[in-house]
Amino acid sequence: MKHIAILGSTGSIGTQALDVIKANPTLFKAEVLTAQSNASLLIEQALLFQPQLVVIADESKYPEVKKALAHTNIEVKAGHDALCEAVVLPQLNIVLTALVGFAGLKPTIAAIKAKKDIALANKETMVVAGDLVTALAKENDVKILPVDSEHSAIFQCLVGEQSPIEKIYLTASGGPFRGKSKADLAHVSFKEALKHPNWVMGAKITIDSASLMNKGLEVIEAKWLFNLAVEQIDVIVHPQSIIHSIVQFEDGSMKAQMGLPDMKLPIQYAFTHPDRIISDFPRFNFLDYPQLSFEQADTQTFRNLALAYDALRKGGNMSCIINAANEVVVAAFLKERIGFLQMSDIIERCMDRVSFVENPILDDYFETDKQTRIFAEELI
Ligand code: NAD
Ligand code: MG
């Protein structure tokens, strides 16, 4: 039996993780559920899964959750610091980080220090501080199990391999604006950007997918998860999202992992690795997809992907800058305060202007995140 904490249980990944747990009650137990502010869904989940602890990060919602669960044995806590307390419960084996953004960093570090394996959905943590997080995981003998579909694909392709990787190809759907020109993009609305062709996900990652920042963040995430040089990471647009990513070895052989786009599979694999368990997830049929196609990513139009490669090449705190700037511009785009193309402009200016730190320690990342948010807000 694996005892699991889900940070962000009310979100897209969190609810799918609970579906996986519900389908396998003899293998998995949800012990901790947390949400930012969706009290009603958190309460509903708590009553169904009977975890030991729930955390509502938004403290104003605490009385509502506390009252609804008063007749149960479930402990209720509130506030962001409580996330760090929640991940250290002794019975936990795995912490699934399914919350959004920089907010994932602190609880992920707390969980690693408490020697809990991390099922990593929260890619922003790796983008911000991949160097420190991977070193800390090694030091504590903790596994980081990728949940992001591309990274799960690479991880699955590497099972049983001793030989070095020559390179990897991360596949990208291209998002809802694939093939569009800059002129087309100047006036797209957030509602259009939220219509992803293949995946239903939270708002932030859906906008990131439309702007190709998601793929940029994934390039950085891959660097740290698989210990690769920038030149070893390539991106290929594959609009059908059937091949989830590819590893190329030194003899030229390539291994790909494929299947229908369904996040339940990588979530479940992170929970069961190195084993697989029987599932009733829908099966892929080749004849439904007589053509799988591939094309080059358009980094002239979608500059975020190029900016992410720049950040990785520059190193230091540059990926932390790009992440913070991106979180601010995505929130601003969702509120119609800026247009689609302005997102990349503002990110680039933050990369030029926020103080560069060559060899950051953890405090530098918190400071960089803060400074970048202030500067990005000024630009907006
Ligand atoms: P979502 O917006 O649907 O859900 C986010 C969850 O985290 C919610 O439960 C929310 O209450 C909680 N949360 C949000 N901000 C928080 C904060 N500041 N503090 C505490 N809790 C907070 O997001 P999602 O689509 O499930 O994505 C979650 C993470 O997984 C992201 O890092 C995303 O990049 C990654 N991811 C998602 C998918 C996907 O298919 N949705 C795929 C790959 C990776
Ligand atoms: Mg992905």
The pLDDT of 7-33, averaged and rounded, is 98
Would the CB of 148 count as within 6 Å of ligand 1?
yes
Ligand 1 atom 30: residue of nearest CA: 121
What is the chain's mean pLDDT, rounded?
Answer: 97
Q: Residue 313: is its pLDDT beyond 90? A: yes
For the CA of 9, the nearest atom of ligand 1: 9
315-380 carries CATH number 3.30.70.260: no
pLDDT at 136 exceeding the cut of 90: yes
* Nearest CA owner, ligand 1 atom 20: 36
Supply 256's token pair: 């790909």
Q: What is the mean pLDDT of residues 348-373?
A: 98
Query: Does 285 appear as a known binding residue?
Result: no
Each residue of 214-270: pLDDT tens digit? 999 999 999 999 999 999 999 999 999 999 999 999 999 999 999 999 999 999 999
Q: How many CB atoms lie within 10 A of CB 40?
A: 13
* pLDDT at 20 > cutoff 90: yes
Which residue's structure tokens are 């059937």?
A: 242
Does residue 22 have a pLDDT over 90? Answer: yes
pLDDT digits (tens, 9 = 90+) for 91-135: 999 999 999 999 999 999 999 999 999 999 999 999 999 999 999
For residue 29, pLDDT beyond 90: yes
Q: Is 150 in the pocket of ligand 1 (CB under 6 A)?
A: no
Cα–Cα nearest to 311, from 298, 324, 320, 299: 320
DSSP result, 57-89: SSGGGHHHHHHHTTTSS-EEEESSHHHHHHTT-
Query: Per-domain residue ranges for the chain?
Result: 2-146, 162-260+294-313, 315-380
pTM greater than the 0.80 cutoff: yes
pLDDT score of 251: 98
Is 107 touching ligand 1 by the criterion CB < 6 Å? no
User: Given a cut of 90, is residue 38 above it in pLDDT?
Assistant: yes
- Kindly state the DSSP code that residue 283 receives in the 8-state scheme: P
Q: Reply yes or no on whether the pLDDT at 138 is more than 90.
A: yes
pLDDT at 194: 94
Report the percentage of the chain scoring pLDDT > 70: 100
What number does the ligand 1 atom closest to the CA of 14 have? Answer: 26
Sheet of 243-249: strand order equals 233-237, 165-172, 243-249, 254-258
Mutate to test the pocket of ligand 1, among 38, 145, 201 (most ligand atoms within 8 A of CB): 201
- Please say if the pLDDT value at position 357 is more than 90: yes
Tell me the sheet residues that pair with 75: 53
Handedness of CA 39, 41, 44, 50 (dihedral sign): negative
In this structure, the residue with its CA closest to atom 22 of ligand 1 is 36
Task: Report domain 2-146's class.
Answer: alpha beta
Identify the residue with better confidence: 198 or 6. Answer: 6
All residues at 6 or more sequence positions from 57 whose CB lies less than 8 Å from its CB, including other chains: 34, 35, 36, 37, 78, 79, 80, 82, 83, 103
- Please tell me whether the interface predicted TM-score (ipTM) of this complex is above 0.90: yes
Q: What is the dihedral of CA 157, 160, 165, 170, to 10 degrees?
A: 10
Instruction: Give the distance between the most distant pair of CA atoms in the chain.
Output: 62
Residue 52: pLDDT band by 50, 70, 90 thresholds? very high
Contact (Cβ atoms closer than 8 angstroms) between residue 6 and residue 33: yes
Q: CA 9 to CA 317: how far, in whole Å?
A: 30
CA 63 / ligand 1 centre spacing (Å):
24
Residues 321/350, Cβ–Cβ less than 8 Å: yes
What is the spatial distance between Cα 267 and Cα 333, in angstroms, rounded to a whole number?
29
What is the tens place of the pLDDT at every residue in 198-230?
Answer: 888 999 999 999 999 999 999 999 999 999 999
Verify whether ligand 1 is closer than 6 Å to residue 330 (CB atom). no
CB 49, CB 81: distance < 8 Å? no
